[in-house]
Structure 1
Amino acid sequence: MAENLFPNDLFSLPGFTRPAPHGGFPAHELFPDVAYEIVHDELILDGVARMNLATFCTTWIDDKARRLMAESIDKNIVDKDEYPQTAELEKRCVRMLADLWHAPDPASTLGTSTTGSSEAAILGGLAAKFRWRARGGTGMPNLVSGPVQVCWEKFARYFDVELRQIPLRGDRYTMHPDDLPEYCDDNTIAVVPTFGQTFTGLFEDVAAISAALDRLHAAGGPDIPIHVDAASGGFLGPFTAPDLVWDFRLPRVKSINTSGHKTGLAPLGVGWAIWREAADLPRELIFDVDYLGGNMPTFNLNFSRPGGQVITQYYNFIRLGRAGYARVQSATYFVARHFAKGLGAIGPFELIHAGEPERGIAAVTWRLTEGPDYNLYDLSDRLRARGWLIAAYPLPAGRQDETIMRAVFRHGFTLDMAELLLADIGRSLRHLSANPWRTPLTRAQAGGFTHDAAPEVP
């Protein structure tokens, strides 16, 4: 009998006799099961997303959302002629967000889905630049902000805008309204407060910033609009701090961006940009294309995009509604506050943000008090050994000599998981106290961090 060249055991099939291709394009085929197993096994080396408290992004979705994502894997949302109902669901989401954020006329508000809040923020910045130019603006435009996420630095560099970041001073962790007159002028296209700051999780005071710009204009200064970067807070404030005024209730707020795949509870890959009124989105930013079967407007930086994330966002909107989102988000804040209370009791820490809904997102940030023979990078490294990914990094300009740590709590992170994390922090602190050593700061650590991740620890 001829030797069976293809035995039933998966791991004895051809393809496992050599490492997976690493460089040049492979010359030969693999059995699908072999290719899958190679990729699957390599991904075991990734961190566990549910234990990643450095990320702001969704790490848990329900089975119905997973089904919708699988069923929509071949839908291109830009092809509105071929997939008209997907386009309709996107329009519904825009109107729902406009209503949630108190737009004057949600039915006529313009907005769009994006691949994330970064693209949405850049669209808001471009609209502000085009409006400024239409008003007769000349010279080098500028954008004024406090400490911001790196997407604003990208926007400024890629689109020739000066980014004027107001440095932190004193005991401040956010942009202060009193600083605005010094940084704003006739070439300021917008002021960008962050509703859920990346570094600390704190809300910047949009209402106070708007009032300061009102005073500046009344005194003869420029009339400057606001774009709110609500990447993390846009799906929290309306449900857990509804009396906090930060959105289109302020006439100076012309546009808002948010991330559906953060506190919006959608899978990775969706953000939203919404304008107060149709006139606030310059017509020059909208392109009409007719080569996909019908004439359709588009004003995204990307063209072809998957539709499943928008479909799943709509599913969440109708499944949860206002009451459901309030319940889910309140539960996340409850876990964050429980963790903050436990953290203050076990370590030499000073809390910066303890997960209060009226002050910021469902996150806890803290600094190390004087005394220990270890730093927060050491603690981050010890926790990584147990699988926990928690960011430690320096504060931005003005307070760069201070290192803080931040844990972001998301839907699906339970009270029991918070207890396990607190226990591991306690064990890590005892280990560091008994074995004092200090991790030298790398250049990357000393220079800050970007979006969701902590700087790498060597």
Structure 2
Amino acid sequence: MVLSKIGSESDVSVHSTFASRYVRHSLPRSKMGENSMPKDAAYQIINDELMLDGNPRLNLASFVTTWMEPECNKLMMDSINKNYVDMDEYPVTTDLQNRCVNIIANLFNAPLEDGEAGVGVGTVGSSEAIMLAGLAFKRKWQNRRRAEGKPFDKPNIVTGANVQVCWEKFANYFEVELKEVKLREGYYVMDPVKAVELVDENTICVAAILGSTLNGEFEDVKLLNDLLLEKNKLTGWDTSIHVDAASGGFIAPFLYPELEWDFRLPLVKSINVSGHKYGLVYAGIGWIIWRNKEDLPEELIFHINYLGADQPTFTLNFSKGSSQIIAQYYQLIRLGYEGYKNIMENCHENAMVLKEGLESTGRFNIVSKDNGVPLVAFSLKDNLRYNEFEISDMLKRFGWIVPAYTMPPDAQHVTVLRVVIRQDFSRTLAERLVIDINKVIKQLDALPRNSLLIKVELSGEEKPKRTPLEIQKDITDTWKKFVMAKKPKLVC
């Protein structure tokens, strides 16, 4: 007699995940499920849903690293269970962070004596680094004002309107007035002359951007330093500079070594840089470096001993993984100066290939500069039939994620597309993108005249004849409202 066994509902080992009950019901979205599920089913279901995300390698909106060598990936996975804050338990990891700080401080020409350690710390990203730098400036300014017997309740910081949103967060969270230098068409970075005009006795620092998010351009830190020196001499103030080198800090030393933007300038007191951008590490690592110990007030540093030994800490976060710090050290020793230089030169060359390809279409104005972060920002010469938002949307059909956005005040009528060139964006991909942009243009050319333009022109009563710039501004505003209305509301 042959004995047979009927598989039970719970005997999932004989089933394919796609034949099991776990794919027949919606996944929990607001409440935890009552029962467990097999690990392979949980993996498969989540993995399948993640397939709907965009391809990180084709996400040309992001400055963040999307590829690392397998050996570095392995190091990261091997150390993913180490909590960096446990410095006494993981002394080697702590030492690796200190080595990274020293290497970056020297890269930025910090005035260190032989054998002297750099002053800095690893952060989750440049956003945390900027918060720490801003706090140091605010506390130093308050201490100085208090010692002089002057009010210290109305600090302000001067930036360009092109700064990343983390500066707005800092000003909001830590009650510092943000004084912005407005942009203008054709000039999309902070004007040093206008910035220094905004400086007063309550200014804790001026923030310069080495690599604007909008068009990759480096701000003139040298001119800002010289103008501030003159104003400080006339007023007796001590206004300093912070350089937000989130994108450009790992580019300028290799492509533009003669450019003076770092600690070679006497008023530059702190610099932040994103290791997870052109530092070539996956998301989750930034660095803040101070010129010397005097620029970081001691009262901001906390000393704890409940993890095994006295440990100084100056971060907004407490627990954090060690993987990114280890990966940063890997990249610094693996690539060295030669390797970083070769990668940055390659990125720059591919940016030029893309720029030339876009110019050859005859349809675009290039908004970015040749010198700066390797990206290409461009806008349509004529957007009366269709605009940059439509090009961005149609490129998604080819897999490309290319953002379209409006410039900050007072250049908000200008809309641009931006392609960030990272190390994994090859010459072939640059050429392929130009081909696909040409396809999109031809498809849009074949469509009926922009319905949004018709709505703009026909809305309301008869109006006087408007200039092309006024019509363009109306179209841009209409599309901006349309795009913002489609964005999902995020829950933090």
Q: Please list, as runs of the form range in 1=range in 2, the aligned pairs for 1:297-376 lying within 5 A after superposition.
A: 297-354=312-369, 356=370, 359-370=371-382, 372-376=384-388
- Render the CA deviation track for 1:394-435: whole Å, top value 9, x for unaligned: 101111111111111101110101111111100000111110
Q: Please list, as runs of the form range in 1=range in 2, the aligned pairs for 1:136-285 lying within 5 A after superposition.
A: 136=145, 138-146=152-160, 147-169=162-184, 171-220=186-235, 222-285=237-300
Aligned to 1:96: 103
Is the CA contact (8 Å cut-off) linking 2:389 and 2:479 kept in structure 1?
no
Alpha-carbon shift at residue 309 of structure 1 (Å): 0.3
Task: Report the residue type matching 2:159 in the other structure.
Answer: S
Aligned to 1:385: 397
Task: Report the residue type matching 1:14 in the other structure.
Answer: R
Distance 1:441 1:279 in 2: 48
Alpha-carbon shift at residue 438 of structure 1 (Å): 5.4
Q: Secondary structure at 1:151's aligned position in 2? A: helix
Q: Does 1:437 align with 2:450?
A: yes
Q: Please list, as runs of the form range in 1=range in 2, the aligned pairs for 1:32-111 lying within 5 A after superposition.
A: 32-105=39-112, 107-111=116-120
Is the CA contact (8 Å cut-off) linking 1:288 and 1:296 kept in structure 2?
yes
Deviates more, 1:366-375 or 1:83-92: 366-375
Specify whether residues 172 and 442 from structure 1 end up closer, same or farther in structure 2 by C-alpha distance, changes over 3 A only: closer
Specify whether residues 177 and 446 from structure 1 end up closer, same or farther in structure 2 by C-alpha distance, changes over 3 A only: farther
| Greater C-alpha radius of gyration | 2
Alpha-carbon shift at residue 305 of structure 1 (Å): 0.4
- Render the CA deviation track for 1:238-297: whole Å, top value 9, x for unaligned: 001111110000010000001000000011100000000011111111101111122101
Distance 1:427 1:38 in 2: 35
Specify whether residues 446 and 250 from structure 1 end up closer, same or farther in structure 2 by C-alpha distance, changes over 3 A only: farther
Task: Report the residue type matching 1:41 in the other structure.
Answer: D
Aligned to 1:135: 144
2:126 to 102, 109, 117: 117
What is the TM-score normalised by the length of structure 1?
0.94
| Ranges in structure 2 where 5+ consecutive residues have no aligned partner | 147-151, 453-474
Q: Secondary structure at 2:367's aligned position in 1? A: strand
| Ranges in structure 1 where 5+ consecutive residues have no aligned partner | 450-454
Structure with more of its chain in helix, by fraction = 2
Distance 1:299 1:444 in 2: 43
Q: Secondary structure at 2:308's aligned position in 1? A: coil
Alpha-carbon shift at residue 37 of structure 1 (Å): 0.4
Q: Secondary structure at 1:190's aligned position in 2? A: strand
Distance 2:250 2:91 in 1: 26
Identity of paired residues, percent?
Answer: 42
- Render the CA deviation track for 1:98-152: whole Å, top value 9, x for unaligned: 0000000173321000000111011111111011111116131000011200000
Q: Does 1:18 align with 2:31?
A: no
CA RMSD of aligned residues (A): 1.9
Aligned to 1:414: 426
Distance 2:143 2:227 in 1: 24
What is the TM-score normalised by the length of structure 2?
0.88
Distance 1:85 1:371 in 2: 56
Equivalenced residues, count: 449
Aligned to 1:452: none
Q: Secondary structure at 1:335's aligned position in 2? A: helix
Distance 1:167 1:215 in 2: 23
Task: Report the residue type matching 1:109 in the other structure.
Answer: G
Specify whether residues 191 and 180 from structure 1 end up closer, same or farther in structure 2 by C-alpha distance, changes over 3 A only: same
